[in-house]
Amino acid sequence: MRTSLSASTLIMKAMPAEEWTTAEHVDRYLSRADQCPRRAEGESVLLEHVPRDARRVLDLGTGDGRLLGLLETDHREMLAVGLDASELMLEAARERFAGDERIEVVEHDFAEPLPALGRFDAVVSSMAIHHLEHERKHSLYGEVFDLLEPGGVFANFEHVASPTRRLHLAFFAAIDEPLEHEDPSDRLLDVESQLRWLRELGFDDVDCYWKWLEMALIVGVKPTTDG
C-alpha cells in the first residue's frame, strides 16, 4: 500500500533540484559516484555511441563534469558545453576543467527552455533529466532534437522508473543506498515512455542500448535529410 506524502515532502517536491544547492548532498553524491555498481559499464556504452569525430557536445546536468571528462579522453576534436544549475557542481566542474579551453561550463536551470548555444553533434546527459517533471522532460527532448545537427546523437544515461515498488526497493538495496537518500526531486519515468517520446519527436534508431535495474542508456539519432 502506498503511504501518503508528508507536508515536508510535499514542500521539498515543489522545489526541483533544491538538494543540489547543499554541500552535504553534492559532496555525498560526488564521493559515492564511482562506487555505484555497473555504472562504468553503462557509461562505457554511452561513450561508444558518441561519434569519435563529434565536435560540439552538450552535457545536460553536467555536475562536476564526470561525463565530459570521460568523453574528452578519446574524443580529441570535442569542444563541449557542460550545463548545470548547481553553483557547487559548476564550481567542481570549473575546477576539473581549469585551463582546458575545450570545455565551457554554463549555469542554467534546464527546467527553463535551453539558452541559445548553437548546434551540436551530440547531446549527452547522465543521471540528471529525471529531476524534471515529465512534461518538461518531453519538451526538453524536443529542444534537444532541434539543436542537434542532422545525424547528431542524443545519449541519455538515466535513472529510470522500475515497473514495481518491489524492484524500486531492490535497486536501492543493490546500490547500497537507504531509501531515505532518494533525491527529493527525483521524478522517475519508465524507459518505454521515453523511447516512445523520442520516436514521436522524430529521432531514429531509438532504443535502450543498456540497462541494469533503474539505470538505462537511452539513445536516439536525428535523421539526416538524405536518410
Ligand X SMILES: C[S@@+](CC[C@H](N)C(=O)[O-])C[C@H]1O[C@@H](n2cnc3c(N)ncnc32)[C@H](O)[C@@H]1O
Q: Per CB under 6 A, does 154 bind ligand X?
A: no
Residues 70, 47 contacting (CB under 8 angstroms) = yes
What is the separation of C-alpha 182 from the centre of its chain, rounded to a whole number of angstroms? 16
33 touches ligand X (CB under 6 A)? yes
Quote the least distance from Cβ 20 to ligand X, whole Å: 4
Q: Which range in 12-20, 146-154, 169-177, 204-212 contacts ligand X by CB under 6 A?
A: 12-20
Rule CB under 6 A: say whether 63 interacts with ligand X.
yes
Does 42 contact ligand X by CB under 6 A?
no
Compute CA 73 distance to the chain's CA centroid, rounded to the nearest angstrom.
Answer: 19
Residue 109, interface with ligand X (CB under 6 A)? Answer: yes
Which of 46, 54, 58, 61 touches ligand X by CB under 6 A?
61
127 binds ligand X (CB under 6 A): yes
- We find the least distance from the C-beta atom of residue 202 to ligand X, in angstroms, to be 24
Least Å from the CB of residue 86 to ligand X = 3
- Listed ranges 3-11, 95-103, 127-135, 211-219: which one lies at the site for ligand X (CB under 6 A): 127-135
Q: Which residue is nearest to ligand X (CB)?
A: 63
Q: What is the dihedral of CA 97, 15, 28, 39, to 10 degrees?
A: -70
Inter-CA distances, 224 with 52, 109, 118, 149, 221, Å: 18, 30, 18, 8, 9
Residue recorded with cell 515497473? 163
Question: Closest distance between ligand X and the C-beta of residue 188, in Å?
Answer: 13
Q: How far apart are CA 148 and CA 199, in angstroms?
A: 15
* Residues 121 and 57 sit within 8 Å (Cβ to Cβ): yes
Contact between 152 and ligand X by CB under 6 A: the answer reads: no
| Nearer to ligand X among residue 199 and residue 211 (C-beta) | 211
84: β partners: 107
| 160 neighbors 194 (Cβ within 8 angstroms) | yes
Name beta bridge partners: 220: 154
Q: Find the helix or strand (DSSP H, E) in which 1 lies.
A: none
If one asks whether residue 220 binds ligand X (CB under 6 A), the answer comes out as no
Distance of alpha carbon 88 from alpha carbon 22, whole angstroms: 8
Is residue 152 classed as helix, strand or coil in its secondary structure?
strand
Residue 16 beta carbon to ligand X: minimum distance, rounded to whole angstroms: 6
Cβ proximity to ligand X: between 44 and 224 the closer is 44
Instruction: Select from 70, 80, 81, 86 the one that contacts ligand X (CB under 6 A).
Output: 86
Which residues would be at the binding site for ligand X (CB under 6 A)?
Answer: 16-17, 20, 29, 33, 61-63, 66-67, 84-86, 89, 109-111, 126-128, 131
